[in-house]
Amino acid sequence: MTGTRHSSIPPGHFEDRQWRTLVLGIGNVLWADEGFGVRTVEALHARYCFPEDVCVMDGGTQGIFLLPWVRSTKSLLIFDAIDFGLAPGELRLIRDDAVPRFMGAKKVSMHQAGFQEVLASAALSGDYPERLALIGVQPDTLNDYGGSLRPAVKARIPEALALALDVLREWGVEIRERESTPGPADATGPIAMNIHDYEAGRPEHGH
């Protein structure tokens, strides 16, 4: 198997193994720019594949249920929508000890408070990632149920991917471009529709 197919998981389910690197997109695709993390992981997985000890995963809004995964990895890279107080679409790369502060401060949704708790619990357990990075985007719109990413945010996905590849290479992760698009059995999560089908299926999408 090239790449991974591990992803958003039912509560209580965890594959008991150690990961060298976990790439995690968190957020809710049903609330406009809240879906940035999930959609960026989706784009990363569609274009690149990684060794078997790298897990690329849609963490959705699972919060504390992601704790076993975080405890099992040496390096953790997160994509998320973060309220930095910047212009919509602005990206920031946050490293190591600063990451938990940004996951809780000025949170844009409840899942961020939940993930801050995940990191705190991992630290208390003694199984905290050795390396931590957060690629966050300043959201434009959140209160649009069923909406997709706004143009200012969607346009930053390629830059977010470039930042992620730089971080992963720095961490010694081998990266290969895919020769073919991954099929449904190799999805990053349980979402039935990719972003293109999701947007096309919504009447007056983008409003």
CATH number at residue 119: 3.40.50.1450
- Structural domain contains residue 191: no
pLDDT-based confidence at residue 79 (cuts at 50, 70, 90): very high
Residue type (1 letter), 87: A
In the block, tokens 């975080």 appear at 70
How many residues belong to the chain? Answer: 207
Q: Which residue has the higher pLDDT, 28 or 132?
A: 132
Q: How many CA atoms lie within 13 A of 75 on its CB side?
A: 18
In a domain, 195, yes or no: no
Q: Which domain holds residue 44?
A: 19-179
Average pLDDT over every residue of 93-116:
75
pTM of the predicted model, to two decimals? 0.80
In a domain, 175, yes or no: yes
Structural domain tally of the chain?
1
Query: What pLDDT score was predicted for residue 25?
Result: 93
Distance of CA 207 to the CA centre of its chain: 24
In a domain, 45, yes or no: yes
More confident residue, 77 or 11: 77
The answer to whether residue 207 sits within a structural domain is no
Determine the Cα–Cα distance for residues 103 and 163; give it in Å rounded to an integer: 19
Any domain includes 36: yes
In a domain, 202, yes or no: no
187 located within any domain: no
